[in-house]
Each structure stands twice: as C-alpha cells, then as structure tokens.
Structure 1
C-alpha cells in the first residue's frame, strides 16, 4: 500500500532521515519505534504530505507521491493523533467529521471496528448523545477509540496512529490495542509509539535510530537479535512485553 525507497529528509539542512526504505503491504500491521528524535514523527509527516522528501521515492498503491496531489494522498490515509480532538456535540457529530453523509449502519460498523459500539449503545441517546465539552463524558481510551472509528468511517487504505496509547492507563491501553485487532483486513496500519506493549503483535516492527532503519522484524525476532530494541524495552520497565529472550543481543 505504501513504499519508501531510499528517502532522506532534512530540516533546514539538518538531517532527520538518512535514506530510509520500507514497505507496508495492504492489510499489514506495522509499528515504528525508537528513541525521541529518531525520526518517527518525520516519517508520519512525509506520509501525510506535510513535508516532501529531499530525494528518493514514496509510493501510494504503486503510484509515486509526486504524481498525486496532497489531497489524493491524504484521502487514502486516516490519522489518529495522541490527543485526538472530540467536538462539543453528539457521537454522530464527531463521526460525521470524516464522512458527512455516512449512514447509521456505517457509523455503527466503524464503532464496532473501533471496539466502542457497546459504550455508545449504552449511552442515553446512542449516536445522538451529547459528549460534553472536549468529550468530558468519555475516558481517554474512549476518546481514542472514537477517533479511530471516525478515521475508519472514511474507509482509508492506511490508518496512521501517532502514540495512540501514550497517555492511557493499562485498562484503556488494552481496549485500544483490542480495537486494532478488529480493523478491516484491507486497511494497512502504521503505529508510531514508544509504548512497546502496543506493538508486540505487529507483523513488522521498524526500529529507527538517528534517522536510519536500524532493524526490522517481529517482536520475538528483535528481542533475540537487536540490542537497540532490548534497550528500548529496558527503558520502559512497565511494559511487560519481554516474552522469551536469550541474553544480550548484538548492538544493531
């Protein structure tokens, strides 16, 4: 669905990415992890066409991004940010931001995919329940899942999640992670996060460091073979994701 081929990027002459390459097949679940300043946010900015690369090639569904307008690229993607906004209005109002003409059936389908349908079904007026200022009636996890439902309602080919569980407690994090397991099979997902519990079951984890792709693989593969990944785990002792490991891995 998405391909980066030797893509560098610099901010005012300061290198942020150094010729990074990866591919996201349709329906894949991919995570990007790394220390602060590694280049994770820059990758998202390039995908969303907020920035254009210095050189290299970015493709959407086999077409070079340079042959597409920014609007066309963004129509293929849905972005859920860490502090997803909730309007002062109803559930319906918030969902309709992504697809103003969406039917009730489509809204309920998106809510089921985001693991939020039971919460909304139990509200006094369902889709027409007022959520309060900034979603005051909702927990942080419920707001995140509403944002996921809103993004899915537009039927993106690629869903981008920027630190979706960073400010959540363990219970709400698990509910958001469970929602990711229910996303449509034809929707590729890219998760940028520092909480490794969120990405343990990703098909591929990309370890980014100093603007370069240091390693890639599954959680278990990286746990055995990537010292950088082990250090990321060690830096977040509350993330119980170690599984099996065989001592210190090489520094790569």
Structure 2
C-alpha cells in the first residue's frame, strides 16, 4: 500500500525508483498504467489527471518493458512491428541502432528477416531486453516504464543496456524500477520508497550524503535488499 507518495518527474528526464522489497515500487508502476486507481490523490501526466483518460488512450502513450523482455516466434522485423505495424525497415534499423543492437543483427545473413525462435531463444537475455526497448521506441511513447530491466542481465549486457538508455535520453521520459546500483547512478533523480512512502528524493550523490536507507541499499548494490 502506498501512502502520501508525492514527487514530480520532469519531461524528458530519467527517474529511478528504488527501495527494499515490498516498498511499493511495482505498485507505483501499476498505478501509473491504471491497472487500478488510487483511493485518494491523483497522478498527472502532462498536467492531466490520468483518471480522466480512457485506459486505452493512456496506455497508448506508455511504453512498458518488464524484467524479461518478451519476443514472439518470427523475425526481428515481425517483433519490431508489433508496436508499430507501419514502420519502415529504415525506422527498424534506426531503433535497433539506438539500443546498440543493429550491428549484431546486421551480421546475420537475413538481417531484419532473421528468425529468432520461440520467445527469442536465439537471442541472449540482454539482446531480448534491447529488442523490447527498440520495439517500444518505434511506437514513440512519451513515457517509458522499465520494471527491473537489468536484474537478470550479466555485466556486459547491463553495460549495453545503460548505453541504450543514454542514447534515448531526453526524447522520452523514463521511470525505471531498479534493483542494481549501476542502473540508477546516472538518473536525473532517484525516488527512495520505504514501507509505501517516499523516504527521500535526490541524485545518487545527494542521497549518499543525506539518506541512511539509500546508503545501505547502495552498499548492498540495491539487489534483494530485505
């Protein structure tokens, strides 16, 4: 349960949400997508109360990537066009390049026609994650919600994922639930949740100085903090 949660996410910024298990991080994302509505208070998107928007309209403006990037059996192109059926091959290549995946696909003899198998089995976990981000980028949502996107990635794929985030920075507003320290270091702001409330808000440097809870989470690298 979330109570008295209040913060502002500037347009085009990256906001990381961190906190102990059960603090309410994923609940917050669910509220933004209106899987349910708050009993009190409101969430505004561009100054508009999202409760006034039809869910279909709201979600059309949100790109969501979860912990395990999903893919469908078919080609790279098929997967990218799930979000935007009319996109051109050039747009597909640009999206893949933005997430650092085009060089990998370009080495395949069939390029965008490369078949990736059931749930993208021919791709690594990190490649599936970046493919998922490329897919939502093609839909051009103003808001990206990333739910623990690096928790299952090795260090190399996490680094590539971070580069992808830097590439799209400024063009999209990003809210990311993070369980790894590297994911939050370059965030414009970090919101620390604890027991359903906002404990602190600031940059990594500011929170290290002023938040004992954040220092402890950082010491544990934000992973599996009880």
- The verdict on a shared fold, with TM-score over 0.5 as the criterion, is yes
Q: Does 1:132 align with 2:117?
A: yes
CA distance in 2, matches of 1:141, 1:38: 27
Secondary structure in 2 matching 1:24: coil
- Considering only aligned residues, what root-mean-square deviation do their CA atoms show, in Å? 1.3
| TM-aligned CA deviation for residue 49 of structure 1 | 1.0
Q: TM-score, normalised by structure 1?
A: 0.86
Whole-Å Cα distance in 2 between the matches of residues 177 and 237 of structure 1? 16
2:29 paired residue number: 44
More helix per residue: 1 or 2?
Answer: 2
Deviation at 1:150, TM superposition (A): 0.5
Aligned-pair CA distance for 1:234? 2.1
Please, which of 70, 73, 97 is the counterpart of residue 112 of structure 1?
97
CA contact under 8 A between 2:2 and 2:24: conserved in structure 1?
yes
Is the counterpart of residue 183 in structure 1 residue 168 in structure 2?
A: yes
More strand by share: 1
> Number of matched residues?
223
How far off is 1:237 after superposition? Answer: 8.4
* Residues 115 and 182, structure 1, Cα contact 8 Å, conserved in 2: no
Question: What whole-Å deviation, never above 9, does each CA across 1:126-154 have from its counterpart, x for those lacking one?
Answer: 11110112212111110000000001110
For 2:217, what is the secondary structure of its paired residue? Answer: helix
| Deviation at residue 117 of structure 1 after TM alignment | 1.4
Query: Which contiguous aligned blocks of 4+ residues in structure 1 show a shift greater than 4 angstroms?
Result: none
Maintained 8 Å contact 1:31/1:206: yes
Secondary structure at the aligned position of 2:26 is classed as helix
Q: Structure with the greater relative contact order (CA < 8 A, sep ≥ 6): 1 or 2?
A: 2
| Alignment TM-score, normalising by the size of structure 2 | 0.95
Gaps of 5+ in 1: 1-15, 239-252
Distance (Å, rounded) in 2 between the aligned partners of 1:88 and 1:66: 36
For 1:232, the equivalent position in structure 2 comes to 217
Distance 1:106 1:49 in 2: 30
Q: Does residue 85 of the first structure (1) align with residue 95 of the second (2)? A: no
2:193 counterpart (202, 208, 211): 208
Equivalent of 1:157 in 142, 156, 181 = 142
2:119 alignment partner, SS class = coil
Instruction: Note the 1:48-63 alignment, pairs <5 A.
Output: 48-63=33-48
Q: Please, which runs of 5 or more residues in structure 2 have no aligned partner?
A: none
Offset, 1:184: 5.0
